[in-house]
Structure 1
């Protein structure tokens, strides 16, 4: 005995309202608000802002790679906030900023921005063989 073939379902209608009749939901936040930025992305933005600020006065920094790493690779007694590696013949100079140690030492975004800038200035000064105050005259004043 053949079983009857169920009728084909009708094409679904486009929904104009949600099931409670209140209309479709809008965005949670306006597009210009960085709601979806992760902590790592926000930290990278702080480093990038600091580097751009310094590159205006030190154009040679365009040849330096700035990296954001979670933690330093070697476990030492003291945990560095950043490190600088001079250029070699097959690679450019690099400055590494370590995100987690910086975040642990700061309470809010403003403190974090200040500390990130200080670390970037210190590492640039070390790489260039200068005092941090000559790299950024406002170093240590904030």
Structure 2
């Protein structure tokens, strides 16, 4: 599933084709991205229906490395990227445009984007965004 999510997120217009986009590995240079799968209790099962179908959650965290600076405009650009990303996820969900996850029902940003860390030389920052996907299996 993580590869389907990665491919889907590459469709966000502010993620360039040349940007590095890994899974479970985040390089220390800007601009790069990585997806981390979150561990879920009970295999992500939320409900089990009488017919045996289960409703499940799949959670990932998008990590982003961006330039960071004392200059306001650099950090405003970072915040704008994250705000636009969150809005894009909401729009895609409203249009039911989803990653290629079988029987997906919805997706959303479930952790507000936030600054996690700044490099020791204060030239780069790591931001995190939590994503939730609900699907049937």
TM-score greater than 0.5 by the shorter chain = no
Q: Over alpha carbons, which structure has the higher Rg? A: 1
Identify the structure with bigger relative contact order (alpha carbons < 8 Å, sequence gap 6+). 2
Normalised TM-score (structure 1): 0.35
Higher fraction of helix: 1
Higher fraction of strand: 2
Normalised TM-score (structure 2): 0.36
